[in-house]
Chains A and B, each alone.
Chain A
Amino acid sequence: MKSMGATQEEYYRGVRMIRYDLVKELAIALGAAGLLGLVLAAAFSSPDVPQVTIATWAQSDPLDFVTTAADELAGSTTSAGYGNPYNTAGEGQSWGPIGPQKWFGTRIPIDSANAFVIQPLQRASFSNANLASALKTWQDSDADQQGKWLDAYSKALPDATVTDGNVAVVAGDYGPLPVMMANLLGIAQAGALDGLLVSGGHFYQTDYTQPLLFMGDGGYLSGLADQAHLTGSQWGMMNETGSYPGQTWLWLYTMWYQVFPFTSDDGFLGLNAGNADLGIIILMTLLTTALALVPFIPGLRDVPRWLPIHRLIWRRYYAPRRSSASRIEAPQL
């Protein structure tokens, strides 16, 4: 560490110095990088697969939409049973005593059944007596009755028929559900649900938590994502739509989701598929810290000395002494 506090003059004392134009180098680099970027942009453009709206979802796959909406009422979707920060229905992830998902509480409260189904229907029931009466029947019934209707309806849905964008189930005791679902589907197909889910009483909107959670509960968006190799089990975070490169720099983070113990239900040392998100964030934090601390970690900091790659980079310095050629004489460092 003797050079720690040394000035550059002391550090380089006796070293042969050659002319080197840093500013010219930067200017050339700017031109080269800009030219390369321009050529790539002109030749390949950039990925832009259009967004999915709740309207396109309800139009393209009405059955998936209605099934998801019924599941929201039954409380069986991902968001309904999520836990923090949206609700208290789920445990959330933890590893031993480490459970940050629990620590921070329900900060973005979302009641899926109400937010995604009941409230939008209530707003739409204005001047729609049929829907208003169905909604009243639903709300006046006890949870037990609602559960029976939902159970019967959900069992009938897989055999439902879709005609002209409408979903029809065989006759049965579903209470007001078919009317509610037909209306919600109609509102969604018309594009009104897209607006209702982001409004939240505000005029200006920038927060899409509700519609994204709702779409995430369905099978339509994740089906499209699966085709594009974007899901978690497909290294999705480093992939991109079309034939474009993605966030390749996330390869290590994404890799952990594909290997033991994060793919296993039993896992190892309490780390498993159930708390993979937490485990991998902790692991990546540790690895990134280790990368930052490489200068101080014995072994890791010595690898460059053991590998001869530096001898290629500094081959002028390591070149054998040649007395006749003064320009590459051995340095007196």
Chain B
Amino acid sequence: MDTPTTYFHWGFILISTPNLLVIAGMVVLFAIALVAPFPHAEADDDGRRN
């Protein structure tokens, strides 16, 4: 991990592989959180209302 990493250069953008991975990972994680089903036990819902 102490060896220099690769940098990507597009126009004025210059970004390292680890930084790119972090940002891409965040976008992916957010997308997964949006679509992944959230576990809810049927028993949690006893039909009670406030």
Contact = CB atoms under 8 A, between A and B. Distances in A.
- The answer on A and B forming one complex is yes
Interface size class for chain B?
20 to 34
Given A49-B2, A248-B22, A235 B47 contact: no
Contact of B2 (A14, A20, A242, A258): A242
A252 to B, nearest CB: 12
Contact of B14 (A15, A17, A229): A229
Contacts of A281: none
A243 B7 contact: no
A329 B14 CA distance: 51
Nearest to B33: A313
A12 B50 CA distance: 6
A12 B44 CA distance: 18
A127 interface: no
A233 to B, nearest CB: 9
Contacts of A243: 1-5, 16-18
Interface in B1-34: 1-5, 7, 12-19, 21-23, 34
B50 A45 contact: no
A208 interface: no
Nearest to B48: A17
Q: A9, A14, A244: which has the most chain B beta carbons within 10 Å?
A: A244
Interface string A224-241: 000111000011001111
Interface residues of A, number: 37
B34 A246 contact: no
B34 A241 contact: no
Contacts of A326: 47
A61 B41 CA distance: 67
- In terms of DSSP, what is the predominant structure of the interface of chain B? mixed
B41 to A, nearest CB: 8
A259 B14 CA distance: 12
A245 B1 CA distance: 10
B45 to A, nearest CB: 5
A17 B50 contact: yes
A240 to B, nearest CB: 7
Contacts of B46: 18-19
A13 interface: yes
B35 A13 contact: no
A15 B17 CA distance: 47
Contacts of B47: 16, 326-327
B50 to A, nearest CB: 4
A239 B16 contact: yes
Interface in A1-32: 9, 12-20
B34 to A, nearest CB: 5
Contacts of B50: 9, 12-17
A242 B3 contact: yes
A268 interface: no
Contacts of B5: 242-243
B22 A235 contact: no
A227 B15 contact: no
B15 A47 contact: no
B16 A327 contact: no
10 contacts: A9-B50, A14-B50, A15-B50, A18-B45, A229-B16, A243-B2, A243-B4, A245-B18, A246-B19, A309-B34
The 3 closest A-B pairs by CB, nearest first: A243-B5, A19-B44, A245-B18
